[in-house]
């Protein structure tokens, strides 16, 4: 972890991502520009494109320093293996082109001259007939530098101690981190307010040590420990923050990174610092290096202090053994005296605390017994160092290894070993120092895992980028419009799809940038030639202009002239700067040719028209008016035909007059926008006009409503009706356009009070004989056109047809009744009359015999009884023959069940029939009316309710029968006009009133509907039908 001071943080380069775009090309461009990984495109001539991350990595401000240059231009002359960069780059490009992809390490050179190692992945990406290589960089320089530094440190640290170690360390730091200054210092002074350096490197060279005061320097923050164990970093601008630090200005320092060095007790005993004349780069590498070396440097400082203490202790030991023991025991570093047999001869408390053993237990152990069994390599190295130490080759050595505590847990220790001789130079024992470096090893392991994760992420992002590139290519190939994308700043054309190449007939191969657009011959719609600055793509790229649907004629590659509809739009970064422009073009050449042909044809026609006479012009105008009138008439006729078809269908499907008139009123209101309609009928026997039917708005007028108008049920004399006299005389419709001033309408005042202003009177003709007339009125002034009058006549004729069919049906019914009466008379004569005659004869015989010969009276009575039974059966058979077909051979519940099943078959309705109570015999007329009411209610549920279920309930109660038809459909407001006109409801009410019953209709929007018909009947409970 590092603590970076925000006030001195280097400014963050702006993100040059683009806004979200609609096309696949824009999505790919946005991803390419915003990718955190360095990306670039390369071909045989050099770099074709790169993203912001690539520029930042190399330290270039814009792409102009990179594009069209080879890979070797951003590299040192030679690679680490000694090969020439130009030759090696060409080999890598060839390998990637032949194999499809190639991965290798490459030494790059930044714009400031510094070199760094990167892993390069090149992937072949064919585009528009040329070979492009898509490149991805993965920075391995930090890892390589860190690994090299660690290797250098391992070599230097393992082989050196003391001042040699510090000098080697600052040299390695300077070289590995490219630091201009590096030093390690120890806190000195009574108040620890000064630093005495132990080693100093300036520009890679060792210089003499010096001492300075901490006050007013950035080192004061490091030495104070306010950053804890963290690295303190000032990435840039450190001088203004510490104006009293004279050395910073003298040395020209811009960046500063330092870390405190702690002893084993957690106290700051020194610091390690690197300084840069430029802003700090690769902070993670710097802080990792410092953290890795900090523990070792701190150990050396502490060991140095301990050695000084040990030397003082040894000196004092000569004077006092007790004094040496005290210094040994009080050392903050774990120390032990190890005999030549590798057994602990004496240990201090710090070492016992580190291992968790008591001094007595430690004395029973050897160094090998507390070592990790897997550290055989380290143990072998320790034995080798011990041999070299005994041979006098080295004065001491250090090694890192794992130790086992008493509780079984292991820790990493930094072990320093040296020899102790007596005054005669004889070997006495080893002195060992052990420091806990577990945290440092954990930091190194975390750094390794982080590096592995970063490598995996780079691989994943590379795969994602390859997928996006393939998607972009597929989108561009399939787009119907031509597309070109130009880069901001350079004006270089980044891409153009195949459709644009087809539109321009191959000219796109000649275009490398927007400056090449001047080579194209293009015209404005008015014939002016385009200059290059007028091109939509140039205007968008340079001025940010959004161009929509600009028509441009262009000379194509095959010599033909084409016409394009061109649009272009800019792509901005977060600061609003234009970083690219996208232009699309639709080929409208064929459309323009068609328009030109039409224009020429129009011009020819205009010339012909001008040559014609005024009479021909008038005739042409009249013809156009006639065509328009015919079109309007066709539209009206089409609507009229549909209205006539609907009413005929209604007459065919439901021949009852009430239902038909409902459809007729609806058709007239829809086609003629009528506010009211009425039918008046002529009675030739009485020479009177009677009211037949009327409706105002959505309301059908009842007989009481009509009487409220002052209309007598007996009608009025035909001679007093001006409308009737008009249609009788002329046999054609009569238009009354201003009712207020035209008296040709009976009950004129009543119509005026209803708001009528215009009335159309249409005769009802049977052949050529008027049988009445219909009234269609409007509340707004209106003049009736020929087509409207024609439609009104057609609808009136349909009304007359319905009335005639109804009259014929009534006459046929009367004839059928008369025929049935005659049949009944014959049957009564042939059956009942004969039976009653026989009964009378037998009864008369019994009457005489009972007084004279009683024994002969009984057979006569028995014969009379049998004749009565036979006659009663014949009477019942005749009555049953009068019932409707549905009720002829079935009871009302059975007939109702058949009707429900038949009507709901093939519909989404789920029927449910329930019979409550014991069915009893009903009058045939009652059964017929109830069956018809159920039929009408079911019909409404099927046509209008949009229901899922319909429930039919027939309940037999004492003295009353109730029929309920309920659905779970959309429902309606009872006060509103029903969708079918309300004539079915009227019919149901008439039937129920004829039986002296009650009809209740309950409904609400969204809550379904229920029709309940209740009829009093003289049947006995429990007497089955």
Spatial CA neighbour of 705 closest among 716, 714, 694, 715: 694
- Contact present, 84 and 78 (Cβ < 8 Å): yes
Cα–Cα distance measured from residue 886 to residue 880, given in angstroms and rounded to the nearest whole number: 12
Burial class (CB in 10 A: 0-12, 13-18, 19+), 1013: buried
Q: In this predicted model, what pLDDT tens digit does every residue of 562-586 receive, in sequence order?
A: 898 899 899 888 888 888 888 888 8
Q: How many of the other CB atoms lie within 10 Å of CB of 58?
A: 20
Q: In this predicted model, what pLDDT tens digit does every residue of 688-703 receive, in sequence order?
A: 998 887 888 767 777 7
DSSP letter (8 states) at residue 889: S
Highest mean pLDDT among 199-213, 229-243, 665-679: 199-213
User: b/e per residue, 320-359, with b = 16+ CB within 10 A?
Assistant: eeeebeebbeebbbbbbbbeeeebbebbbbbbbebbebee
Q: What is the mean pLDDT of residues 660-677?
A: 75
Is the pLDDT at 127 greater than 70? The verdict is: no
Cα–Cα distance measured from residue 777 to residue 784, given in angstroms and rounded to the nearest whole number: 11
Looking at the DSSP bridge assignments, the partners of residue 523 are 529, 553
Tokens of 37: 């990984």
Spatial CA neighbour of 35 closest among 112, 138, 119, 118: 138
Is the pLDDT at 180 greater than 90? The verdict is: yes
Q: What is the pLDDT of residue 626?
A: 67
Is the pLDDT at 182 greater than 90? The verdict is: yes
Outline where DSSP puts E strands in 215-304.
231-234, 255-262, 268-276
- Contact present, 943 and 980 (Cβ < 8 Å): yes
The 3-state secondary structure of 526-539 reads CCCECCHHHCHHHH
Q: What is the pLDDT of residue 153?
A: 56
Tokens of 719: 């001679």
Q: What is the mean pLDDT of residues 624-629?
A: 66
The residue to which tokens 């057979």 are assigned: 859
Residues 6+ apart with CB under 8 A from 566: 536, 547, 549, 550, 551, 552, 583, 584, 585
Highest mean pLDDT among 477-491, 834-848, 929-943: 929-943
Long-range contacts: 405-411, Cβ < 8 Å, 24+? 405/354, 405/355, 405/356, 406/355, 406/356, 406/357, 406/361, 407/356, 410/372, 411/354, 411/436, 411/438
Q: What is the pLDDT of residue 186?
A: 92
DSSP SS3 for 104 = strand
Count Cα neighbours of 56 within 13 Å in the Cβ-side half-sphere: 19
Q: In this predicted model, what pLDDT tens digit does every residue of 730-777 receive, in sequence order?
A: 888 988 989 888 888 888 888 888 889 899 999 988 777 888 888 898
Please calculate the CA angle 754-758-761 and round it to the nearest 5 degrees: 100
pLDDT classification of 598: cutoffs 50, 70, 90? confident
- Contact present, 899 and 927 (Cβ < 8 Å): no
DSSP SS3 for 860 = helix
Cα–Cα distance measured from residue 293 to residue 285, given in angstroms and rounded to the nearest whole number: 12
Q: What is the pLDDT of residue 17?
A: 36
Please calculate the CA angle 129-134-140 and round it to the nearest 5 degrees: 160
pLDDT classification of 837: cutoffs 50, 70, 90? low
Q: What is the pLDDT of residue 326?
A: 67
Cα–Cα distance measured from residue 800 to residue 795, given in angstroms and rounded to the nearest whole number: 9
State the first-to-last Cα distance of the chain, in angstroms, to the nearest integer.
99
Residues 6+ apart with CB under 8 A from 262: 229, 268, 269, 298
Q: In this predicted model, what pLDDT tens digit does every residue of 798-833 receive, in sequence order?
A: 777 777 766 666 666 666 666 666 666 656 654 565
In this structure, the strands spanning 115-127 and 181-188 are unpaired
Tokens of 227: 């950053």
Please calculate the CA angle 764-767-768 and round it to the nearest 5 degrees: 75
pLDDT classification of 679: cutoffs 50, 70, 90? confident
Q: In this predicted model, what pLDDT tens digit does every residue of 527-567 receive, in sequence order?
A: 899 887 888 988 888 888 898 888 899 888 888 988 988 99
Is the pLDDT at 784 greater than 60? The verdict is: yes
Q: What is the mean pLDDT of residues 462-487?
A: 77
Of 153-157, 511-515, 667-671, 985-989, the range with the lowest mean pLDDT is 153-157
Burial class (CB in 10 A: 0-12, 13-18, 19+), 191: exposed
DSSP codes, 21-32: -SSHHHHHHHHH
pLDDT classification of 155: cutoffs 50, 70, 90? low
- How far apart, in Å, are the Cα atoms of 694 and each of 181, 675, 778? 111, 11, 14
Count Cα neighbours of 790 within 13 Å in the Cβ-side half-sphere: 10
Q: What is the mean pLDDT of residues 109-123?
A: 89
Q: What is the mean pLDDT of residues 1014-1019?
A: 83
Mean of the per-residue pLDDT values of the chain: 80
All domains in the chain, ordered by first residue: 24-140 (3.30.450.20), 160-311 (3.30.450.40), 331-439 (3.30.450.20), 479-588 (3.30.450.20), 653-784 (3.30.450.40), 889-1016 (3.30.565.10)
Cα–Cα distance measured from residue 482 to residue 937, given in angstroms and rounded to the nearest whole number: 65
Cα–Cα distance measured from residue 41 to residue 128, given in angstroms and rounded to the nearest whole number: 14
Q: What is the pLDDT of residue 835?
A: 61
Q: What percent of the chain has pLDDT over 90?
A: 15
Q: What is the mean pLDDT of residues 276-284?
A: 88
Cα–Cα distance measured from residue 748 to residue 756, given in angstroms and rounded to the nearest whole number: 9
């Amino acid at each position: 972890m590092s603590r970076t001071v925000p006030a001195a943080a280097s400014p963050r380069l702006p993100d040059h991502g683009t806004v979200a775009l609609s096309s696949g090309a824009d999505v790919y461009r946005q991803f390419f520009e915003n990718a955190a990984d360095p990306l670039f495109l390369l071909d045989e001539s050099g770099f074709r494109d790169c993203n912001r991350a690539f520029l930042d990595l190399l330290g270039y401000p814009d792409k102009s320093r990179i594009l069209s240059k080879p890979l070797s231009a951003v590299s040192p002359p030679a690679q680490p293996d000694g090969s020439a960069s130009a030759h090696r780059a060409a080999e890598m490009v060839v390998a990637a082109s032949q194999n499809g992809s190639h991965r290798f390490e490459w030494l790059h050179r930044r714009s400031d001259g510094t070199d760094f190692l990167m892993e390069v992945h090149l992937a072949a990406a064919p585009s528009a007939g040329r070979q492009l290589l898509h490149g991805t960089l993965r920075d391995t320089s930090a890892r390589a530098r860190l690994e090299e530094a660690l290797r250098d440190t391992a070599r230097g640290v393992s082989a050196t101690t003391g001042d040699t170690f510090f000098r080697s360390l600052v040299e390695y730091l300077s070289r590995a981190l490219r630091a201009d200054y590096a030093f390690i210092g120890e806190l000195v002074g009574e108040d620890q307010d000064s630093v005495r350096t132990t080693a100093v490197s300036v520009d890679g060279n060792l210089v003499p040590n010096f001492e300075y005061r901490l006050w007013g320097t950035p080192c004061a923050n490091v030495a104070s420990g306010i950053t804890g164990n963290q690295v303190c970093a000032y990435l840039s601008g450190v001088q203004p923050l510490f104006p009293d630090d004279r050395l910073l200005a003298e040395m020209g320092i811009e960046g500063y990174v330092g870390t405190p060095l702690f002893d084993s007790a957690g106290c700051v005993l020194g610091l390690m610092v690197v300084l840069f004349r430029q802003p700090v780069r690769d902070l993670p590498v710097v802080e990792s290096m410092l953290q890795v070396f900090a523990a070792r440097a701190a150990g050396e400082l502490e060991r140095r202090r301990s050695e000084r203490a040990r030397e003082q202790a040894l000196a004092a030991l000569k004077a006092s053994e007790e004094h040496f023991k005290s210094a040994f025991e009080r050392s903050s570093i774990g120390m032990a005296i190890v005999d030549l047999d590798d057994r602990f001869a004496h240990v201090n408390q710090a070492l016992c605390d580190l291992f968790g053993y008591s001094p007595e237990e430690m004395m029973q152990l050897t160094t090998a017994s507390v070592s990790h069994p897997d550290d055989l390599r380290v143990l072998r190295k320790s034995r080798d160092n011990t041999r070299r130490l005994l041979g006098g080759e080295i004065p001491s050595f250090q090694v890192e290894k794992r130790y086992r505590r008493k509780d079984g847990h292991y820790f990493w220790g930094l072990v320093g070993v040296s020899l102790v001789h007596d005054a005669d130079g004889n070997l006495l024992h080893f002195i060992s120092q052990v420091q806990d470096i577990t945290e440092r090893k954990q930091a190194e392991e975390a750094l390794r895992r982080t590096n592995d994760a970063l490598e995996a992420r780079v691989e994943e992002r590379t795969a994602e980028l390859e997928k996006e590139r393939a998607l972009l290519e597929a989108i561009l190939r399939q787009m119907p419009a031509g597309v070109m994308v130009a880069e901001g700043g350079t004006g270089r054309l980044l891409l153009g799809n195949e459709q644009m190449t087809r539109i321009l007939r191959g000219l796109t191969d000649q275009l490398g940038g927007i400056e090449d657009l001047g080579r194209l011959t293009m015209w404005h719609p008015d014939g002016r030639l385009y200059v290059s600055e007028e091109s939509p793509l140039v205007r968008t790229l340079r001025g940010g202009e959004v161009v929509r649907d600009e028509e441009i004629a262009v000379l194509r590659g095959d010599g033909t002239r084409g016409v394009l509809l061109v649009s272009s739009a800019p792509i901005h970064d977060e600061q609003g700067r234009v970083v690219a422009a996208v232009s699309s073009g639709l080929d409208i050449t064929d459309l323009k040719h068609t328009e030109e042909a039409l224009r020429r044809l129009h011009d020819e026609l205009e010339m012909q028209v001008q040559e014609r006479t005024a009479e021909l012009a008038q005739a042409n105008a009249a013809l156009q008016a006639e065509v328009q009138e015919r079109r309007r008439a066709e539209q009206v006729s089409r609507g009229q035909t549909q209205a006539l078809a609907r009413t005929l269908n209604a007459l065919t499907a439901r021949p009852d007059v009430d239902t038909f008139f409902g459809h007729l009123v609806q058709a007239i209101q829809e086609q003629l926008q009528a506010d009211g309609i009425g039918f008046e009928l002529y009675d030739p026997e009485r020479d009177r006009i009677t009211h037949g039917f009327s409706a105002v708005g959505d309301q059908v007028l009842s007989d009481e409503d009509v009487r409220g108008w002052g209309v007598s049920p007996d009608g009025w004399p035909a001679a007093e009706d001006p409308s009737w006299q008009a249609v009788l005389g002329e046999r054609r419709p009569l238009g009354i356009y201003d009712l207020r001033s035209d008296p040709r309408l009976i009950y004129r005042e009543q119509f005026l009070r209803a708001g009528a202003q215009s009335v159309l009177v249409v005769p009802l003709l049977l052949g050529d004989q008027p049988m009445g007339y219909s009234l269609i009125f409007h509340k707004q002034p209106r003049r009736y056109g020929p087509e409207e009058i024609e439609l009104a006549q057609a609808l009136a004729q349909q009304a007359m047809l319905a009335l005639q069919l109804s009259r014929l049906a009534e006459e046929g019914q009367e004839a059928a009744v008369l025929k049935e009466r005659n049949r009944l008379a014959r049957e009564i004569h042939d059956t009942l009359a004969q039976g009653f005659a026989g009964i009378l004869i037998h009864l008369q015989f019994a009457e005489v015999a009972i007084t004279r010969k009683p024994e002969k009276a009984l057979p006569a009575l028995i014969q009379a009884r049998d004749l009565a039974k036979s006659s009663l059966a014949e009477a019942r058979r005749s009555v049953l023959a009068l019932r409707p077909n549905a009720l002829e051979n079935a009871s009302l519940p059975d007939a109702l069940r058949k009707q429900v099943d038949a009507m709901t078959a093939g519909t989404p309705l789920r029927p449910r029939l329930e019979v409550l109570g014991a069915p009893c015999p009903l009058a045939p007329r009652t059964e017929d009316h109830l069956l018809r009411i159920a039929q009408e209610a079911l019909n409404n549920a099927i046509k209008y309710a949009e229901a899922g279920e319909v429930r039919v309930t027939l309940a037999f109660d004492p003295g009353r029968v109730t029929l309920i038809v309920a659905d779970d459909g959309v429902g309606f407001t009872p006060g509103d006009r029903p969708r079918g006109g309300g004539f079915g409801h009227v019919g149901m009410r008439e039937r129920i009133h004829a039986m002296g019953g009650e009809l209740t209709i309950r409904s609400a929007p969204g809550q379904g509907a229920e029709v309940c018909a209740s009829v009093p009947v003289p049947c006995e409970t429990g007497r089955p039908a």
